[in-house]
């Protein structure tokens, strides 16, 4: 037997441990997606107190608590890659040092590749700008090699907006609007991909997946759509739904979803006896709600209300925060 429709969720967590404390397990149990793709996990050996999923983690090898991606899947992939080489016959080895920050995981299934990626931000810094430029070239060549083999679904935080409709206010001098970044993502689409959300909601505006924490931007919906599901054109007609879960808090990004008609055999479904990962030493506190209650139906969103954020944000000196972050980034780049 086969599963005929798969549901995917992608989310930049801005720290896995913080997301777990904010109710990530409740979110997973409530949404019940077939495959989750998380970015900016910032951990090397995560403890995920949940059964029913194969878990694959890629972490930064040069800095602790930085970058990182993770996939949870109900169905065991045929193969897994954490770099740009495994599925490309080593044709891309001249960029060996570009995938050391844990920014990509590729799952191979019988009929498609699933790529979870976290694109670097240039941070208006020459060194990081060059890294992003090299990453874009590498990623383009990598995905082109995958497309030559079978259909591809790519998701994650691209750290760039595709069009003016994907931003509250277009500022071409800020990160996410650099001409080279935008040109790179357009070349990627030109390879033969469609933006799943725009495929179904072509003219919808004011839908964003990221908001700065400053000045109640999320509450006022002043944001950008930096997170995408991109689907190769040969399977685009199978897209059934794609949404942005703006009501879900816990990060400066919100989750995005994709439902698409694809087949995976039930024989690949997760089985407890095949999961040999050690159990977490310490179970994280997971808040329980009465069966059938409003809290139980929307537990994660209920734990993090907009009003709670307003009260917290109103007492934060955001100018001081930004200055501190800038100093930390400058120090890290000097090491």
CA distance 173 to 175: 7
Catalytic residue among 99, 136, 157, 195: 157
Residues 13 and 234 sit within 8 Å (Cβ to Cβ): no
Of 192, 287, 179, 290, nearest to 232 (Cα)?
192
CA separation for the pair 55, 76 (Å, rounded): 10
Strand partners, 242: 258
Of the residues 118, 142, 228, 249, which is catalytic? 118
Q: Return the sign of the alpha-carbon dihedral for residues 328, 329, 330, 335.
A: positive
Could you report how far apart the first and last alpha carbons of the chain are, in Å? Answer: 54
Rounded Cα distance between 113 and 107, Å, is 6
- Decide: helix, strand or coil at residue 108: strand
* Cα pseudo-dihedral 194, 197, 202, 204, rounded to 10: -160
195 in catalytic set: no
Greatest distance between any 2 Cα atoms in the chain: 57
For residue 172, indicate whether it is catalytic. no
What is d(CA 165, CA 107) in angstroms, rounded to the nearest whole number?
31
Q: Which residues are catalytic?
A: 118, 157
């Amino acid at each position: 037997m086969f599963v005929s429709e798969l549901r995917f969720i992608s989310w930049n967590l801005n720290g896995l441990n913080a997301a777990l404390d904010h109710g990530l397990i409740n979110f997973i149990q409530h949404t019940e997606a077939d495959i989750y793709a998380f970015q900016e996990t910032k951990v090397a050996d995560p403890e995920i107190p949940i059964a029913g999923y194969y878990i694959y983690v890629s972490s930064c090898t040069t800095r602790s608590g930085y970058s990182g991606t993770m996939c949870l899947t109900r169905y065991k992939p045929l193969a897994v890659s954490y770099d740009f080489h495994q599925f490309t016959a080593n044709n891309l080895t001249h960029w060996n040092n570009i995938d050391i920050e844990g920014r990509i995981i590729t799952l191979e299934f019988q009929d498609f590749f699933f790529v979870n990626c976290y694109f670097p931000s240039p941070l208006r810094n020459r060194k990081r700008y060059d890294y992003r430029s090299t990453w874009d070239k590498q990623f383009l060549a990598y995905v082109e090699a995958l497309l030559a083999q079978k259909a591809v679904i790519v998701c994650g935080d691209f750290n760039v907006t595709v069009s003016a409709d994907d931003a509250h206010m277009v500022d071409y001098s800020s990160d996410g609007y650099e001409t080279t970044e935008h040109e790179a993502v357009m070349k990627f689409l030109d390879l033969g991909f469609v933006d799943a959300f725009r495929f179904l909601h072509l003219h919808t505006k004011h839908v964003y997946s990221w908001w700065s924490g400053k000045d109640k931007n999320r509450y006022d919906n002043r944001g950008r759509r930096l997170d995408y599901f991109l689907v190769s054109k040969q399977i685009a007609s199978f897209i059934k739904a794609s949404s942005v879960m703006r009501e879900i808090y816990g990060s400066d990004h919100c989750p995005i979803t994709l439902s698409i008609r694809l087949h995976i055999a039930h024989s690949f479904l997760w089985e407890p006896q095949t999961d040999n990962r050690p159990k977490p030493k310490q179970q994280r506190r997971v808040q329980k709600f009465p069966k059938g209650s409003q809290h139980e139906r929307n537990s994660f969103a209920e734990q993090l209300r907009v009003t709670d954020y307003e009260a917290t944000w109103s007492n934060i000196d955001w100018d001081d925060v930004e200055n501190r972050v800038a100093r930390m980034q400058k120090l890290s780049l000097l090491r």
